[in-house]
Amino acid sequence: MSSSTFRGLNPTMLEIELRRVLRNKRTAIFTLIMPVVLFEVFGSSQGTSDKVGDGNVTAYILISMAVYGAMLAATAAGASVSLERAAGWSRQLRLTPLAPAAYITAKVLSALVISATSVAVVYLVGTTSKAQMPTSTWFQTALLAWVCSMVFAAFGLFMGYLLPSENVMQALGPGLALMSFAGGLFIPLSQYNDVFRAIAKVTPVYGVGELARYPLVHDGRLAGAIVNVVTWTLVFGIGAAMRFRRDTARV
């Protein structure tokens, strides 16, 4: 890698990127408010004080909803390349010294910040709820939900390069909800039959959810979850990189 690989990367980029996210009401609702609302709906229903692992069902649901918010946030941050391509902004950037890899890096950094904000908001609301788990588990699960959501930053980038739409999140929002059901984020896998459970384990949301909840439940499916997260990160990352190379090639 030469010194010019990340040429042009700077804090102003990140600052303005974050301002844009906050300015966009739809993104703010999707990534900051919706996970909280879902947690309030599912997390306060009957039987949530039942014990799960080191904590209770409310804590289990809290982690799942934080994962969901982090996923949405990271996907939205990555998928914003779609809008920027449609607006001709990517082309405009080629008339500046900004290196293409620096642009992608800024997108990943902004995904990290927005996803961290989303997790923080859900967990803050969680502290006022009936959620119970050891203090260290609060931090471990939050950190895992945040870090693992980068699978979806890669997913968002890939989709952003793949789909030409200006409103790519309108398609990806429902898609992520479906993937969350498929991956056992909204409904525990124990409620599924054997066939659906087997399918769930190869879908991209499964690994993130399992990993983030592991410090709470310790249920021994760690290796499968790690393989799942790494594999999907590679699939989406390589897909995004291929589309990105095609997009920035001089023809």
Partner 1 sequence: MATTLTDTAIELSGVTKHYGEVHAVDGIDLTVRRGEILAFLGPNGAGKTTTIDMVLGLSVPTAGTVRVLGSKPEEAVANGLVSAVMQSGGLLKDLTVRETVRLTASFFPRPRPVEEVLARAGLADIGDRLVGKCSGGQQQRLRFAMALVPDPELIILDEPTTGMDVEGRREFWAAIREDAARGRTIVFATHYLDEADAYADRIVLVRRGRVVADGTSAEIKAMATGRQVRATLPGARVPDLQAIPGVESAEVRGDTILLQGRDSDMIARHLLTQTEAFDLEVTSQNLEEAFLALTGDGS
Q: Which residues bind partner 1 (CB under 8 A)?
A: 7-8, 10, 12-13, 16, 19-20, 23-24, 84, 87-89, 91-98, 250-251
Q: Rounded to an integer, what distance in angstroms lies between the CA atom of residue 224 and that of residue 204? A: 12
Judged by CB, which is closer to partner 1: 83, or 226?
83
Judged by CB, which is closer to partner 1: 17, or 210?
17
What is the closest distance, in whole angstroms, from the C-beta atom of residue 94 to partner 1 in the complex?
A: 6
What is the closest distance, in whole angstroms, from the C-beta atom of residue 97 to partner 1 in the complex?
A: 5
Q: Rounded to an integer, what distance in angstroms lies between the CA atom of residue 235 and that of residue 251? A: 26
Using CA atoms, how far residue 128 sits from 15, 36, 44, 59, 231, in Å, is 31, 12, 12, 12, 36
Q: Rounded to an integer, what distance in angstroms lies between the CA atom of residue 239 and that of residue 233? A: 10
What is the closest distance, in whole angstroms, from the C-beta atom of residue 170 to partner 1 in the complex?
A: 16
Judged by CB, which is closer to partner 1: 15, or 219?
15
Q: Rounded to an integer, what distance in angstroms lies between the CA atom of residue 139 and that of residue 137? A: 5
What is the closest distance, in whole angstroms, from the C-beta atom of residue 101 to partner 1 in the complex?
A: 14
Judged by CB, which is closer to partner 1: 87, or 199?
87
Side-chain half-sphere of 75: how many Cα atoms within 13 Å? 26
Q: Rounded to an integer, what distance in angstroms lies between the CA atom of residue 183 and that of residue 125? A: 24
